[in-house]
A = this chain, B = another copy of it.
């Protein structure tokens, strides 16, 4: 498979993106990568490593979307036609790459993916997925930000797409679908939740098991939790905030005393486990579900390992012929 990588996207590009590409080539022998970005900067980075030169190409462009653009992300995507993110996706559309990976601005990547790859026919709204850690395995949460305003029909489609995604990616036979709500009982929630519940319950394509409260995401047997992009984004960002609040207090308090510092040494492995359980970056980022091509979003602060994992995810979906199979549902 050929993966196009936006070498200029992310907080640590191109240093970590290029390194991540080299790591991915090491792990997947059948992989080829097209690095999209400033040839001079990319070559500078590539010099640091030894790698199979036949399996890396560079697609040169000097434009790129900043992590914080002055104009809206959607506008930036349209103005900067030759941005690395845009070109990476065009390579997929033109069949020159099987998938695209970017750690760039999320809003821009969503816009660019829609603009360049278009929607799958029959899909009302593409959605952004994320993997949330949970005691009983990981779950897919979607939409986490593509559609601030949703209709019940969108959520129904999110469930269908999420179900197929979980089947393939989390290797679940008959993925359990839950609806994010503020109570477990039928009839709970706002107008959107109530109407979505009815549609989900009637749909025979999915295994809908009912409402799920955000409190229970961390300990559930549900595989996919669907919600509108506003609520999903709120969940994601609340979880991030609370996580960093707690680890921040721990760090600050440990610094304050010698005893605590000593204790922390004994707890090194515990803290390591905690970090790895809280961290979903091993999953290599999110997929945009519903666009007609594989577009993977790596976290903005991705290091080379996270980039490598995102490339592996892209390769995985390409090998599984994900888009063609997903299309059969619509």
Partner of A230, one of B193, B216, B259, B270: B193
> Distance in Å from the Cβ of A314 to the closest Cβ of chain B?
26
Selected interface stretch from A37-45, A83-91, A235-243: A235-243
Q: Is A320 interfacial (CB 8 A cutoff)?
A: no
Q: How far is the CA of A247 from the CA of B262 in the complex (A)?
A: 20
Q: Is the Cβ of B278 less than 8 Å from the Cβ of A246?
A: yes
Q: DSSP majority for the A interface?
A: helix
Q: A148-B190, A235-B234 are in contact. Are A269 and B257 (CB under 8 A)?
A: yes
Set of chain B residues within 8 Å of A28, measured between Cβ atoms: none
Set of chain B residues within 8 Å of A219, measured between Cβ atoms: 241, 245
> Distance in Å from the Cβ of A171 to the closest Cβ of chain B?
23
Q: Is A215 interfacial (CB 8 A cutoff)?
A: yes
Selected interface stretch from A94-102, A248-256, A294-302: A248-256
Partner of A215, one of B237, B259, B267: B237
Set of chain B residues within 8 Å of A188, measured between Cβ atoms: 148
Of chain B, the residue at the smallest CB distance from A180 is B234
Q: Is the Cβ of A267 less than 8 Å from the Cβ of B260?
A: yes
